[in-house]
Structure 1
Amino acid sequence: MFLDFSSRPPSLQFDGPTDHLSNYRRVYEGTERQVANSVDGDPLENYLETYERLGACHVVLKARDLTSTFGVKISNENVAAFCRTHGHRYIGFAGVDPHKGAAAVAEFETAVRELGLRGLNVQGFEHRLPIDHPLLFPLYEKCVELDVPVNIHCGTNFSTQTSMMYGHPAALDRVMMALPALRVCASPPGWPWVQELLAVAWRHPNVWIGTVAMRPKLLATAHSGYEPLLQYGRTVLKKRMIFGSAFPMMPVEKALREFDALDMPDHVREDWRCNNAIAYLGL
């Protein structure tokens, strides 16, 4: 059993203009080609069948509203509709445009209370905002009020139209000092500031780390910069690591195979695969 914390269905409602992410296609060209070559028949049917066959307990899908910065929106309504249509396996996170101020907070509350979405997705580099920007705090405070978690992009990004520094984990430390009850998953896991993110998670018990948008084998690859995640994730932070494939950046099965090949005790592996995410999501 596993929970995939990062996945995007091959469905029109999850597509949109992504010119600002064109450099991602260069970086992930190899694994994305593997995804494309593995599809046999209808892509959506193949997607749903993969999670059924592999026994996924849940798959997290994330909305995004980048209207003010890049003119892109994957709407809360579409994410919620996908989850309703395809069953309890699929869990949706809301996405709102923080530049809209109070209207964004109201939209987020509606997404949780009326649409049934289970968390908030903050991709700061796409909003051109650091993690601790004042525009984000009303949304974080609403997460605490609604008792739902937030996913926060942490680490570099590969878009050359926005700064990599928006994802620096030092800003997450400042957020957690102000709002210790906020449940955060920092994903991807902080590279090239992995050590700093580990320090933030060790300091704050409500910070989880999502190993998404990266090859799991890099956790055990010398000099990759990711190795400390495996060391601390097997010990002091073993209850705070969360697996995600980042499909379609990487095939789900390949991500699982690489993860399962890592050297860790079985009970720790099961925590990374599922149990830690269940605690983070409050399921």
Structure 2
Amino acid sequence: MPIDLAQIKAIDVHVHAEVSCHDPEDPVMGKFFDAASSYFKVPRERPKLPEIVEIYRAQQIAFCLFTVDCESGIGAKRVSNYEIADFAAQHDDICIPFASIDPHKGKLGAREARDLIENHGVRGFKFHHIMQDIEPAARVGYPIYEVIAEYGLPAIFHTGHSGIGTGLRGGGGIRLKYGQPMLVDDVAVDFPDIKIILAHPSWPWVDESLSMALHKENVFIDLSGWSPKYFQPQIIQYANTQLRHKMLFGSDFPLIRPDKWLEAAKQVGFRDDVLPGIMKDNAARLLGLG
């Protein structure tokens, strides 16, 4: 059943599936979950897929669901893209499957991307180059981008600071430099058919994301990972004006709950005629839902 836009109040483009329904939590990821839970001051237990869909259906919020494949970068076993895609297919009135493939997997990763798109209904991709320990424009990842571009699908790129690794010795080995938004600019130029979503407000490089979204027709910004009450003033300024059609609601669930994000968003100065676009309409157009 396709998503009925009239029956939902928002689209959350940034929801993590962090544990499998079939396999135990990976202990390597466990230490990063511990640190992130402390940083965000949220419960340590990670919800499984049925609980996630129950939360979002109860709130009438559609959502993009993905894991993060960082098997090469930090050696943590990923949640299967196929598990996520097959689960989303059972709940396609509310859940939109995205996939994550470590760019180090190159051509083999491109084969997986094509299979997920053609045979499992995947509608977009998620990259987290900080956790994947690789530059966004590293050529080894280009075969994966080529498949995404061929189908004109969106891809979310983590940008800015990362709660993952915060407070750990050496940041858990995670290098923040790969989260600089301008490192994605080459990808935006080389793959103009990919709808690139720069995830998070990108602090401490906020202005780079705003510049890229102004400059590149195919670059958008999701506002996940921060409560709106902590947004820098220029985010609100551009969301209300030049980038009103390019800003997207994302929560970063389970670290931030969607209802908490939406409630805070009503208090920070988004114009009344802009907020519906951020909450739902901009994402609906980008994802081809309306």
TM-score bracket for this pair, using the shorter chain length: 0.7 to 0.9
What does the per-residue CA deviation read over 1:168-225, in whole Å, with 9 as the maximum and x for residues that have no partner? 1111122222222221111022111001111111110111101111111112xxxxxx
User: Is contact 1:183-1:206 (8 Å) kept?
Assistant: yes
User: Is contact 1:200-1:207 (8 Å) kept?
Assistant: yes
What does the per-residue CA deviation read over 1:119-139, in whole Å, with 9 as the maximum and x for residues that have no partner? 111111111012211122222
Structure 1: give runs of 5+ residues left out of the alignment. Answer: 220-225
**C-alpha distance in 1 between matches for 2:52 and 2:65:** 13
2:116 to 94, 111, 114: 111
Report the alpha carbon displacement of residue 228 of structure 1 after superposing the two structures with TM: 1.1
Report the alpha carbon displacement of residue 43 of structure 1 after superposing the two structures with TM: 7.5
Q: Determine the structure 2 residue equivalent to 1:7.
A: 15
Closer, same or farther: CA 22–134 of 1 in aligned 2, 3 Å:
farther
Residue 7 of structure 1 aligns to a residue whose secondary structure is strand
The answer to whether residue 85 in structure 2 is matched with residue 75 in structure 1 is no
Report the alpha carbon displacement of residue 45 of structure 1 after superposing the two structures with TM: 6.1
Query: Aligned letter for 1:63?
Result: T
Residue 136 of structure 2 aligns to a residue whose secondary structure is coil
Q: Determine the structure 2 residue equivalent to 1:214.
A: 226
Structure 2: give runs of 5+ residues left out of the alignment. Answer: 1-8, 166-170
Query: Aligned letter for 1:68?
Result: S
Q: Determine the structure 2 residue equivalent to 1:223.
A: none
Report the alpha carbon displacement of residue 64 of structure 1 after superposing the two structures with TM: 2.5
Residue 186 of structure 2 aligns to a residue whose secondary structure is helix
How high is the TM-score relative to the length of structure 1? 0.87
Query: Aligned letter for 1:66?
Result: C
The answer to whether residue 67 in structure 2 is matched with residue 63 in structure 1 is yes
Report the alpha carbon displacement of residue 46 of structure 1 after superposing the two structures with TM: 5.5
Report the alpha carbon displacement of residue 10 of structure 1 after superposing the two structures with TM: 7.7
**C-alpha distance in 1 between matches for 2:182 and 2:18:** 34
2:217 to 205, 229, 233: 205
**C-alpha distance in 1 between matches for 2:56 and 2:185:** 35
Q: How many residues align?
A: 269
1:192 to 200, 204, 220: 204
User: Is contact 1:172-1:200 (8 Å) kept?
Assistant: no
1:135 to 131, 137, 140: 140
Report the alpha carbon displacement of residue 53 of structure 1 after superposing the two structures with TM: 3.0
Q: Determine the structure 2 residue equivalent to 1:182.
A: 194
Residue identity over aligned pairs, in percent, reads: 26
User: Is contact 1:60-1:91 (8 Å) kept?
Assistant: yes
Report the alpha carbon displacement of residue 23 of structure 1 after superposing the two structures with TM: 2.9
Closer, same or farther: CA 125–45 of 1 in aligned 2, 3 Å:
closer
**C-alpha distance in 2 between matches for 1:183 and 1:44:** 26
Query: Aligned letter for 1:178?
Result: D
Residue 73 of structure 1 aligns to a residue whose secondary structure is coil
How high is the TM-score relative to the length of structure 2? 0.85
